Amino acid sequence: MHGYELRKELTAKLGAIRAAISYGSLYPTLRRLQAAGWIVEAAETPATAEEVPALTSRRGRVVYKITAEGKERFAELIAQAGPETYDDTGFGVHFAFFARTDQATRLRILEGRRRKIEERREGLRDVLGRAAERLDAYTLELQRHGLDACEREVRWLEELIANERSGRAPTVPPTGTAGGRREDNSPSPPGESREERP
Amino acid sequence: MHGYELRKELTAKLGAIRAAISYGSLYPTLRRLQAAGWIVEAAETPATAEEVPALTSRRGRVVYKITAEGKERFAELIAQAGPETYDDTGFGVHFAFFARTDQATRLRILEGRRRKIEERREGLRDVLGRAAERLDAYTLELQRHGLDACEREVRWLEELIANERSGRAPTVPPTGTAGGRREDNSPSPPGESREERP
DNA sequence: GTGCGATGTATCGGTCCGATACATCGAGGC
DNA sequence: GCCTCGATGTATCGGACCGATACATCGCAC
């Protein structure tokens, strides 16, 4: 893909957890990835060969393609979990690419996230319990709302974990689930709804 | 307060919406505020005058105090709303200081936030409707979870707006609401909270 | 035929974070 | 009595990211 397209794809895929990637972040990142050899510039074939060089310094759209090494590195990245894997954005990114990794990784990350949210929940309960009379009604309402969100997310995660253990696809799209699937290293992958864009 | 204390206070007050302020942000900000004249260094009185100068370059805790101009600027800041007022963090900060501003401002901000969340909600519905078959089951589940959070927040905001219009304190701690309060410029401030564990 | 919004690449200044350094102090273990 | 460890406290530095902006092309509606 080229940058603009990539941005749109990611915005659709990650829209639930974060705003669009900024250009100030996108283009430098693409160059970094290229410098590392994880993507290569795959110059778009001009419609007719002779019509392109006319324009002065027009950059034109730059199409990138992931390399074998890049794929390898990507697989490593989504499978390995550091502390930032469990914060809101980090977890969202990992989760959005769950279909590309194996069940053990998915379970590990879901459980790590649950632990993190449980900690946040306890912190909020603490504040609501101990500091309640020091805080005004609006601040308290904010904490309550946050606490509610935590409890809700823990339940959501627990459902996902249970589904994962039972080998089923994520929760409950009441659609008829499609597709037997085979995979190289993972025992029981979830149904991929469709897929495969390089 | 001094920096460390301020950080703890803010962490408790804003814990529901964001992580602790980093030191790399806190101390430069304090200096910026001081340079602008909005806070002043109010050197902590040493326990006994002669015992302090002994230590070599020890900075000791630096206590700051807000100035009259700082208070004025703060009141302006929480009352004025830009685009960033309605994103997650910005809204949380405004909301956490709602008790310091007037009802008209509170309503304006609550409604702006609602509009923003409704837009996000529509975006997610769009993706779930149009791009559903292009995305894998996990990504879809992420969108669904995000959509659910949006719907929930809109309901929460609507409750708050209704309460605000009726002049009552924020939502529903089933406590007997306490406190007659007077205030300089605001028509009907909310009761300052009593304690409460749900 | 012209303006305007979508498409597309790119940079720059500023802000914030994470890691780290350094110093003091009280509590607890041995 | 000594020593380590965690909490308290101020501070900086490099790097990542955002928001604004610039500039160019293309298709379409009016």
- What is the per-residue pLDDT across B134-176, written as a single tens digit (0 to 9) for each? 889 999 999 999 999 999 999 999 999 999 999 876 654 444 3
Q: What share of chain B is helix, strand, coil (3-state, %, to 5)?
A: 60, 5, 35
Identify the band that residue A59 occupies on the pLDDT scale cut at 50, 70 and 90: low
Residue A100 burial by Cβ neighbours in a 10 Å radius (0-12, 13-18, 19+) = middle
H-type helices in B36-176, by residue range? 68-79, 88-96, 103-130, 137-165
What pLDDT is recorded for position A171?
A: 53
pTM here?
A: 0.81
Least confidently predicted of A41-45, B32-36, B83-87, B138-142: A41-45
What pLDDT is recorded for position A188?
A: 39
Q: Helices A3-14 and A23-35 sit at what angle, rounded to 10 degrees?
A: 110
Q: CB-based contact (8 Å) between A161 and chain B?
A: no
Statement: the CB of A2 is under 7 Å from strand C: yes
- pLDDT tens for each residue of B58-68: 567 889 999 99
Statement: the CB of B47 is under 7 Å from strand C: no
Q: What share of chain A is helix, strand, coil (3-state, %, to 5)?
A: 60, 5, 35
Asked whether B43 and B34 are in contact (CB, 8 A), the reply is no
Q: How far is the CA of B23 from the C1' of C18 (A)?
A: 10
Residue B6 neighbours by CB distance under 10 Å: 15
What pLDDT is recorded for position A71?
A: 94
Checking if the pLDDT of B56 tops 70, the result is: no
Q: What is the mean pLDDT of residues A124-140?
A: 88
d(CA B170, CA B178): 13
CB distance B194–A144 less than 8 Å?
no
d(CA B88, CA A177): 35
CB distance B138–A171 less than 8 Å?
no
d(CA A109, CA A78): 10
